[in-house]
Structure 1
Amino acid sequence: MKKIVILLLLLLPVAHLLSTVHGQVRNFDFDMTKPQPNYNEDTGFGYDRNTIAISKKQKQPMFFSVRVPEGDYKVTVTIGSHQYAGVTCLRSETRRMVIERMMTKKGELQDVTFNVNIRTSYIDGQKIVELQNREKKDWGWDNRLTLEFNGERPAVNRIRIEPNQPKMKIWLCGNSTVTDQDNEPYTSWGQILPYWFDENVSVENIAMSGLRTTSFIAQNRLAKIVQEAKPGDYVLIEFGHNDEKDSTPGSGAWYNFTYNLKQFIDMLRPKGVHVILATPTERRNFKNKKVSASHGDYPDAIRTIAKREGLPLIDLTVSTTELYNAMGDSLSKKLFVHYPANTYPGQNKELKDNTHSSSFGAYEISKLVVMGLKSNEIELVKYLRPSWKDFNPQFYDDWQSFYWPATPMNHSEKPAGN
C-alpha cells in the first residue's frame, strides 16, 4: 500500500500535465483563505513574473500564469473582492488589453469573459517560426496563459480557463506598428484590437518589429499561417514602413514588395482564407501644420493590388493622417512615444518617436482598424462588444481620460524599424 501511495505522488505532476494537454477546464479561487502558489513547472500554474499574491492592501500589478497547449481559450475572470473596493485593469499575455478600468465596491463581483490566443513557434515538426532574440523572452510565444491585474487596487476573485473554439479568427501580419510590443512605453494597435471583440473572435498576432514582407516570409511566419489557418479565417496584412527602406536589387513598391504581397495572397487563398490588405500607418511628420506623406508609392501599390485582386482594403495611411491632422502638431504627440527623461524607470533620455504608438495611440488606431473592417462589411464585426462605439478621427478621444497603468516591465529600447 505504501508503494502505491508513493507511486501516485510521483505521478501527480504528470497527471496534471496530461489534464492540461487534454483541455480540462481550470478554475482558480483567489479567496484570501486559499492562496495560490507561485508559478513552477511542476504545478504549471501560479503567481508569475516575481509578483506577490493579491491582497487587501494590493496596490501593485499581479501576474498569474497557467501552462496550456497552443490554441484558443475562453477565460472568465470574476473581478472584485469581498474584502475591499477595487480598481482593476486587466491584460492578457503580452499586454493585450482586456479591461481598461473596472471599479468594484467591497463585496461586488463582476464576470468578464474573453478569448486568449496562445501561440508557439511550432509549425509542423520540420519548420518553426524563427523568433528574434527579443521574442524568445516574450510572454506571447511561451506555453503559459498569463494574465496581468493592474490598476490602483487590482481585485480578482476567480479565474476560469477552458478550451475555446471561436467562431472567427483574424491573423495579423506586419511590423512594429502591429506586433505585441513586450515592454512599455511602446504599444501597437494589434495589442488593443482583441479588446473590441467578444470571446467568439480570436486574434493571432504573428507580426514583429523590423519585419518586411521578405523577412516575414523568410522567418516562416507566413508558413505558420498557411499550415494552421482554417477556411473562413481572416488574414490582415500591413507592411510598408521597413519595405520602403529596402535597397536590394529589384526592391521598390512596384517590384519586390508587390510580388511578395502576391505571394501572401496566392498561398492563402487555396486555404479558403480571406485576405485583407492595409496601407501603413502614417508617421507623425508635420510640415506647414499638415502631415506630410512619408511612404512614397507604397500605399498606392497596396491599393492597386487590392483592387486588382478584389480584396478588402483598410486605408490606414489616409485615416491616420486624418487623425493626426485633426489633433494638430502638438497634441498628436500623445499618440506616439514622446516622453521626457525619467518618465519610466531607467529611462535617462527623452523619447521622441514619431513612428511607434503610445498606448493611447494604439487605442485610437485600433478603432480606425475596426472602422475599416466595418466599412468593408467584414463578418467579424458581428462580434464587437456592446461597448463599441463607431469612431470618427475628427472627434478623437481625450488622452487624459484613457486609463493605462504601466506594465512594470519597461525599457527605452526602440523597436526595430522606423
Structure 2
Amino acid sequence: MRSFLLLLLVISTTTLHGQTYKFDFGNGPVAKGYGQVLPEMVYTAERGFGFLEGKQPEAINSGRNELKGDLIASDAPFFFTVDVPEGNYDVKVILGDREGTSSTTIRVENRRLMLEKTDTKEGKQKEEMFSVHVRYPEIAGTDKKVRLKSRELDYFHWDHQLTIEFNGDAPKVAAVEITPNTTAPTVFLAGNSTVVDQANEPWAAWGQMFPVFFKPGKVVIANHAESGETLKAFMGAGRLENVLSLMKPGDYLFIEFAHNDQKPGGSHVEPFTTYQEMIREYAAAAKAKGGIPVLVTSMHRRRFDENGKIINTLDDYPEAMRQLAKEDGIALIDLNAISKVLYEAWGVEASKKAFVHFPAGTFEGQREDFADNTHFSTYGAYQLARCVVEGLKQTDLKLKKYLKKGIPSYNSENPPAFEDFYWPLSPKVSVIKPDGN
C-alpha cells in the first residue's frame, strides 16, 4: 500500500508539468520520487500499472543502491503495462545486474522494436532510452472512433496503455521512467499488412522495425497501418482522420498502398487515375496540417520466373506513384525497386527465410505448412526496414538527420544472412494469416 500511495503522489505531483511515470523495479528500498514495482504486481485498472499475466518474474536485490541495487529478472519474456494518455513518450530504462550479467531486447505495444539485443557485463548496468507513440481509438477533438476490426480489439496498441515487452536471453530491469515528448516530430505510417505492427509471431512488417533506427527523443514513429487496408478503407475507417487529429507542423506522413487497392471490389482504384487522386488527397490533407507527405512504393511479392527474376504482380501502381511524386514534388522512397534487387539477390530458396515459410509444427497450434509470399518473417521485415532507411538517406528530407549514427549502408545486392539475425520470439503466436495478399 505504501508503494502504491507513493506512486499516486509521484503521478499527481507531476501532472501539472506533463505526467512523468517513475518506477523502481524490485523489492529493495524505493528510490525517492519513484513507485515500487514488485514481481507479483499484476496489472489492475485500479492500480493503473503492473505486469501482464504470464510467468511471474523474480526480484533480485543486491542492497547497494535504492534505484539500481534491486531489479526484476526472468528467464522468459515478460510484459509491463501502464495507463497513459495518448501521445508520444520517451522511455528510459536501467538494465543490468550489479551481481550478474544480462541480455535484453525491448519491444512495445504490438512487437514494435525499440531496443535491439543489449548486453551488460557482470556487475555493470546501462541506461537506455527509446521513444514511443501511444494511440487511442477515440479521434481527438471529435466524438468519433476509429472503426476497428474484430481482431484489433485485443491489440495492445488500442488499449489506452503503454505495454513494454522485456525479452532476450536474460532480461533484467531496475527502473523505468516514462516522460511525455511533445516537441519531437512524429512520423505517421499509413499502409497495409506489409507496414503494420503485426501483433503475433511469426508475422512481421517493416513498420514495426523502423523505430529502432532513429535517435531516441528526436523523432517518434507512429505506425497506424493495418492489415487488409486500402486507401479507401483506411480513410473510411477513420484511420486517416485519427492521424490528422494528432498531426502537428513538421510531422511526416509515409504513404504505402497498392497490394489491396489493385484488387476488384469497392476499394479498387485505377493506377493512373483514382489511385493517384487518392494519394494526392492524403498528401494534401497532411500538408494542410503542416505535415510532410512521403510516398513509399510497395515492395514486390515473392514471385520468381524460371530465370530467378522477380515477376511484377503490382501492375502499374508503383510507376503511378513514381510519376505522381515527380509531378507534385513529393519525396519518394522507391521500395519497389529496392525490393526487386533484394529478392533476386536472395534467390528462390533463400528468399523463403524472409517470408512466412515454416513447416507445420514450427509454432504452437500450427498444423499446416506456412507458405506465404506476401507477408514477412521478422528477418524479412527487418531487411525491408533497412531498405526504407536506405531510401530515406537518398532523399532531401530533414528526417534523415535523426537516424542513429553509425548505421552502415545497406547493400540490397548482398543482404545480411538469416543466420546472423537475432530475434527472441514473443509469446503470442497466431496461425491465422493477416488480411490482405
- Cα drift, residue 82 of structure 1: 2.4
Which of these residues, 309, 319, 334, is aligned with residue 300 of structure 1?
319
Partner of 2:69: none
Q: TM-score, normalised by structure 2?
A: 0.89
Give the aligned partner of residue 105 of structure 1.
Answer: 121
Using the alignment, how far apart are the partners of 1:31 and 1:151 within structure 2?
19
TM-score by length of 1: 0.93
From 169, 175, 196, the counterpart of 1:179: 196
Is structure 2 residue 191 aligned with structure 1 residue 207? no
Whether 1:157 aligns to 2:180 is no
| Residue 167 of structure 1 pairs with residue 171 of structure 2 | no
- Give the Cα separation in 2 of the matches to 1:180 and 1:190: 6
Out of 298, 319, 322, the residue aligned to residue 280 of structure 1 is 298
Structure 2 spans left out of the alignment, 5+ residues = 29-35, 61-72
Do the aligned residues in 2 keep the contact of 1:93 with 1:147 (CA within 8 Å)? yes
Sequence identity (%): 37
Could you say if the C-alpha distance between residues 11 and 29 of structure 1 is closer, same or farther in structure 2, counting changes exceeding 3 Å?
closer
Q: Deviations over 1:71-93 (max 9, x none)?
A: 11111111111243212111111
Report the alpha carbon displacement of residue 17 of structure 1 after superposing the two structures with TM: 7.1
**C-alpha distance in 1 between matches for 2:234 and 2:425:** 29
C-alpha deviation, 1:182, in angstroms: 0.6
C-alpha RMSD over aligned residues: 2.3
In 2, distance between residues paired with 1:47 and 1:390?
Answer: 39
2:42 is equivalent to residue 47 of structure 1: no
Change (3 A) 1:42 1:378: same
Shift of 1:386: 2.5
1:387 is displaced (CA, Å) by 4.2
Distance 2:266 2:360 in 1: 37
SS in 2 for 1:394: coil
Q: Which runs of 4+ in 1 moved over 6 A?
A: 10-17
The one-letter code matched in structure 2 to 1:48 is: L
In 2, Cα distance between equivalents of 1:384 and 1:246: 39
Residues 82-119 of structure 1, C-alpha deviations (whole Å, 9 max, x = no match):
24321211111111112221222232101111101100
Task: Give the number of the structure with larger relative contact order, counting CA–CA contacts within 8 Å between residues 6 or more apart.
Answer: 1
Deviation per residue, 1:14-39 (Å, 9 max, x gap): 87875686533222122343652221
Q: State how 1:94-133 maps to structure 2 within 5 Å.
A: 94-123=110-139, 124-133=141-150
**CA deviation vs aligned residue, 1:307-362 (integer Å, no higher than 9, x gap):** 11110111111101110001111111111111111111111111011101111111
Shift of 1:55: 4.8
Distance across 1 between alignment mates of 2:289 and 2:360: 49
Which residue of 1 is the match for residue 388 of structure 2? 369
Contact 2:11–2:20 (Cα < 8 Å) also in 1 = no
Distance 2:183 2:412 in 1: 30
Q: Deviations over 1:130-151 (max 9, x none)?
A: 1111111110112111111111
2:33 aligned with 1:29: no
Conserved 8 A contact 2:37-2:50:
no
Q: Structure 1: which 5+ residue stretches go unaligned? A: 1-7
Separation of aligned partners in 1, 2:5 and 2:101: 41
Cα 1:11–1:327 change in 2 (3 A) is: closer
Aligned residues: 411
Q: Identify the residue that residue 240 of structure 2 maps to in structure 1.
A: 222
Preserved CA contact (<8 Å) 1:13 1:42? no
Structure 1 Cα separation of the partners of residues 100 and 9 of structure 2: 36
* 2:197 maps to amino acid: D
